[in-house]
Amino acid sequence: MREIQSLARGLQIVDLLMQSQSPKSVTELADFLEVDKSTASRLVRTLENYGYVQQAKNSRAYVVGKRLHSIGWQLTNRYALREMALPVLKQLVRKTDECSHIGVYSSGKALVIEDVQSETSSLRVIGGAGRLIHVHNTALGKALLAFGDFPIPDTLPRITANSITEPEQFQTELESIRQRGYAVDDEENEYGVRCIAAPVFDALGIAVASMGVSAPTARLQPGDVESFGQIVKEMAYHLSCELGYEE
């Protein structure tokens, strides 16, 4: 079977950097691939654009990027994350009396890996672990995109009348999320449901997940968003610390 040469060379660069104990310059990468320096430079820039490589601190040489760290962390620690998150999610339910959940980025969507339902509210949002949800119109997804090293979808489909579908407006939304520290889904994915989520960081300071609450709009009013947002941020920070995160 014929292979795509540029893709193969890109993968070779990633493999080399993962195995190397020191950063590699473009010249070293060109020698390794047996190509000219300009070709190696284009390959590295493409990988850098997608977060798979990055320049080492105070150097023009390259090391593996945060995107690879994030993928590796999720592959090896997803089950552990779910186990560690469960008591925090239960505490979040006790603090808010609303359903809580945690999700990770997966193939362009947010994968909900754990849900905890409120036992006291008769009117509640029923979710379910294992479901894949959009990243552009859900609080979990927007928190992942705002704080993580994940690609923004090429298209932003309209799910409800409140869904953001314009790329420029969505970039503004992500910046607002970064400034306040949490994301809000204001009936953007489902009418009658308002959600809030905040990022969860690992020991390297990489956003590997997001956690939050979902509630009926009749109970989670616009005036309650700020106070709920602070609670969600606090609990997400608590889980981040459990994962070894230090500011």
59 with 79, same domain? no
Tell whether the model's pLDDT for residue 164 goes beyond 80.
yes
State percent of the chain over pLDDT 70: 92
> Which residue range forms the structural domain that includes residue 194?
69-242
Determine, yes or no, domain membership for 46. Answer: yes
- pLDDT at site 173: 97
- CATH of residue 21: 1.10.10.10
Instruction: Give the integer Cα–Cα distance in Å for 68 and 149.
Output: 10
For residue range 198-225, list pLDDT tens digits in order: 999 988 898 999 999 999 998 899 999 9
- pLDDT at site 73: 62
- pLDDT at site 213: 95
55 with 145, same domain? no
Calculate mean pLDDT across residues 109-119.
87
For residue range 35-79, list pLDDT tens digits in order: 999 999 999 999 998 888 888 888 889 998 877 766 766 665 666
- CATH of residue 187: 3.30.450.40
> What is the tally of structural domains in the chain?
2
Q: Which of 8-22, 97-111, 175-189 tops mean pLDDT?
A: 175-189
Determine, yes or no, domain membership for 247. Answer: no
- pLDDT at site 74: 64
Calculate mean pLDDT across residues 180-206.
94
Tell whether the model's pLDDT for residue 178 goes beyond 90.
yes
Mean pLDDT taken over the chain? 89
